[in-house]
Amino acid sequence: MPTLSAGPPVISARQLSKHYGDFKAVDGISFEVPAGESFGLLGPNGAGKSTTMRMIGGVSQRTSGDLTIMGLDPEEHGPEVRAHLGVVPQQDNLDEELRVRDNLLVYGRYFGLPMSYLRPKADELLEFAQLTEKASAKVDALSGGMKRRLTIARSLINEPKILLLDEPTTGLDPQARHILWDRLFRLKESGVTLILTTHYMDEAEQLCDRLVVVDKGRIMAEGSPAQLIREHSTREVLELRFGSERNTTVAAELQGIGARLEPLPDRVLIYAQDGEAALEQVISRGLRPITSLVRRSSLEDVFLRLTGRSLVD
């Protein structure tokens, strides 16, 4: 979309920091997001992703650094910036005292939108969230997945230009995740900028044009998913399991196979351009893994490489 990316970045963060006392939740991160891009923040829990999202929304004050959203500082122009933002927080914060449809209508009123716009819009969004039959149900009567869908529907009530999604599919079943991904993809096609945090690799690979890997409040790497995998991992990975007792001891005997070796408590990873060839070498050394698996490198491997830890721990 050349017309969009030609303009100035819609989000620009420079040396953005947020400290809580001595704890540096976000520690000097810089990034730019052009209009219409789908940008991901990838990292484990506590990496500072949600804090960054909150600063973008202008609901958390930064300790230092610069941040502009569509050219405005969200701390100085919070209401104006948020008029064009849709937010899906990590934890659903639906209004438990209101019914399902009222949640959408009242939320729309917070944006100052007229009821003549909101009534049909609410019905359309209920349809999208597959909650039409639950329109007059109480929120606490909804299942976890339904609440998540309602939160996502609610974030679209003002037709946002930038959609902030903090772990959007956590708690959704696989089918619901794919429906959501499809919907997000369509929003992206219509020019909406997506900012999402996730610790799901497949989600990041599916949705993000570009992402930053964040750990302990700092950016470890930046690029498209394919680029990151190319730069920080090999093409393939051989996963071997020798039983939890033996994984680490066997690792010594595997030295020299593939480009790199990563012994984990439950398995040993061998990074190689050709996984099958690596497996043959393992067998030829007389080692008999209980299970073996050759797969493509993923962002999980990138993360492991950059931080020495796995994402979901």
Write out the residues near other proteins by the rule CB under 8 A.
3-4, 6-8, 10, 35-36, 57-61, 70-72, 75-85, 87, 89, 91, 93-99, 102, 106-107, 109-112, 158-159, 161, 187, 190-193
Distance CA(138)–CA(281), nearest Å, equals 61
Quick one: 80 or 280, whose CB is closer to other proteins? 80
Q: How far is the CB of 179 from other proteins (least distance, A)?
A: 17
Quick one: 81 or 268, whose CB is closer to other proteins? 81
Tokens of 274: 């050709």
Beta bridge partners of 291: 241
Q: How far is the CB of 74 from other proteins (least distance, A)?
A: 9
Quick one: 188 or 305, whose CB is closer to other proteins? 188
CA atoms within 13 A on the CB side of 206: 19
Quick one: 97 or 253, whose CB is closer to other proteins? 97
Quick one: 4 or 259, whose CB is closer to other proteins? 4
Q: How far is the CB of 161 from other proteins (least distance, A)?
A: 6
Contact criterion met (CB below 8 Å) for 261 and 269: yes
Q: How far is the CB of 25 from other proteins (least distance, A)?
A: 11
Q: How far is the CB of 41 from other proteins (least distance, A)?
A: 17
Quick one: 66 or 96, whose CB is closer to other proteins? 96
Q: How far is the CB of 222 from other proteins (least distance, A)?
A: 22
Q: How far is the CB of 83 from other proteins (least distance, A)?
A: 4
Q: How far is the CB of 131 from other proteins (least distance, A)?
A: 17
Which residue from 233, 218, 208 is spatially nearest to 303, judged by alpha carbons? 233
Which residue from 246, 258, 252, 248 is spatially nearest to 290, judged by alpha carbons? 246
Quick one: 113 or 261, whose CB is closer to other proteins? 113
Quick one: 77 or 119, whose CB is closer to other proteins? 77
Q: How far is the CB of 110 from other proteins (least distance, A)?
A: 4
- The three state secondary structure string of the chain is CHHHHCCCCCEEEEEEEEEECCEEEEEEEEEEECCCCEEEEECCCCCCHHHHHHHHCCCCCCCEEEEEECCECCCCCHHHHHCCEEEECCCCCCCCCCEHHHHHHHHHHHCCCCHHHHHHHHHHHHHHCCCHHHCCCEHHHCCHHHHHHHHHHHHCCCCCCEEEEECCCCCCCHHHHHHHHHHHHHHHHCCCEEEEEECCHHHHHHHCCEEEEEECCEEEEEECHHHHHHHHCCCEEEEEECCCCCHHHHHHHCCCCCCEEEECCCCEEEEECCHHHHHHHHHHCCCCCCEEEEEECCHHHHHHHHHCCCCCC
Quick one: 151 or 247, whose CB is closer to other proteins? 151
